[in-house]
Amino acid sequence: MSNLHPISSANNIPVFFTCDDSYAGYLATALVSLFDNASDTNVYDIVILEDGMDDQTKFLLASLSHGIDNCYIRFFPVSELVRKYNATDWEVPHFLSLAAYYRLFIPLVACHYPKVIYLDCDVLLQSDIASLLAVELGECSLAGVIDPNCEIQDDVQLREHLCGDLGLRDISNYINSGVLLFNIEVLLVKDMPQTFFDIASKSKGFFGDQDVLNVACEDSILFLDSRWNVFWGLTFERHKMRNHTDDMIDQLLHEAFLVHYAGEKPVQRPNAPLGAEWWASARKTPFYESLLKPLPARPE
């Protein structure tokens, strides 16, 4: 397997995504927002992990960086890794695809980088992503933002899963895997990729790759400023949150560095706050018309 090397030796900002054809429009929207907030002094090294993505889809995604001198998009096929680690045998939750698990391959693919950023496709940047790479990780394996689902009152099933099935000691430290900063050097020294794959092969789904990362790295996670992964759902599900007042949620949404459109998408709630900002970026992509239709439901 060939490994990637940084595009630039100076001011290189590596950002990894995983994607299949169904989420290409969301990825394109995320990329537009990333480029719109990029600094001229950095080099943005975008890597998309994929397995069998349509050539036309890749052509359209790659076209987004045309004319931007400091932004580069590369595709990395993970088919060899999928076969080597029997990833098709991993249990995938019905609301995800196997592509979500490709982020577990990042330490192997990015072994020549000291640290890299991972982003889900359904995000919108509102600040320069380079600031996230500047976070000092120390000896922590990775960094992420606490998942707001852990605040939802009376979610007995979630608590039973996190404490019982996963055996986590403190569910209030459970992070969302949609925005991550990987400490590649530390992960490789600890042989953490193999731990990821061992856990994934035994996992019973639920939150998929997110569960794997939280179990494997429980004692080695740095918690990021929550503005780096602000759930769009806070705009219409604030009544479920235990630890945030309305004023706190309003401030978080207003100051968000990155908005994460997990769960329902803007096409389903076109009038919700922060929907217009997402659509403004979506209109700049060649996928705009396809984004007007909701994503097809994944089979149960």
pLDDT digits (tens, 9 = 90+) for 117-165: 999 999 999 999 999 999 999 999 999 999 987 766 556 777 777 777 7
| Alpha helices for the chain (secondary structure H) | 24-36, 55-62, 79-84, 106-109, 130-133, 156-159, 184-189, 192-202, 209-216, 246-254, 275-282, 288-291
Is 1 within a domain? Answer: no
Question: Tell me, what amino acid is at 200?
Answer: A
Quote the mean pLDDT of the chain. 91
Quote the pLDDT of residue 220. 96
Give the model confidence (pLDDT) of 170-207 as tens digits. Answer: 877 899 999 999 999 999 999 999 999 999 998 776 78
Question: Is the per-residue pLDDT at 100 higher than 50?
Answer: yes
Q: What's the pLDDT band for 300 if we cut at 50, 70, 90?
A: very low
Across 275-285, average pLDDT: 96
Alpha carbon 96 to its chain centroid, in Å, reads: 13
Residue 46 domain-assigned?
yes
Q: 230: exposed, middle or buried (C-beta count within 10 Å: 0-12, 13-18, 19+)?
A: buried
Average pLDDT for 272-285 = 94
- Expressed as residue numbers, the domain containing 205 is 12-291
At residue 216, the pLDDT reads 93
List CB contacts of 239: < 8 A, sequence separation 6 or more.
none
Q: What is the pLDDT of residue 88?
A: 92
What is the reported pLDDT for 155? 66
Look at residue 54 in the predicted model and tell me its pLDDT: 97
Is residue 7 situated within a structural domain? no
Question: How high is the pLDDT of residue 298?
Answer: 55
The pLDDT, as a whole number, for residue 296 is 64
Q: How far is CA 276 from CA 267, 280, 283, in A?
A: 10, 6, 11
Counting the structural domains of the chain, the total is 1
Specify the pLDDT at position 248: 87
Residue 157, domain CATH: 3.90.550.10
In a domain, 232, yes or no: yes
Evaluate whether residue 65 is within a structural domain.
yes
pLDDT of residue 151: 66
The answer to which of 12-16, 114-118, 155-159, 232-236 has the lowest mean pLDDT is: 155-159
Q: Categorize the per-residue pLDDT at 272 as very low, low, confident or very high, splitting at 50, 70 and 90.
A: confident
Does some domain include residue 249? Answer: yes
Q: Residue range 198-221: average pLDDT?
A: 89
Assess if residue 64 is contained within a domain: yes
Instruction: Give the Å distances, CA to CA, from 30 to 153, 190, 292.
Output: 31, 32, 16
Cβ burial of 75 (10 Å; 0-12, 13-18, 19+) is middle
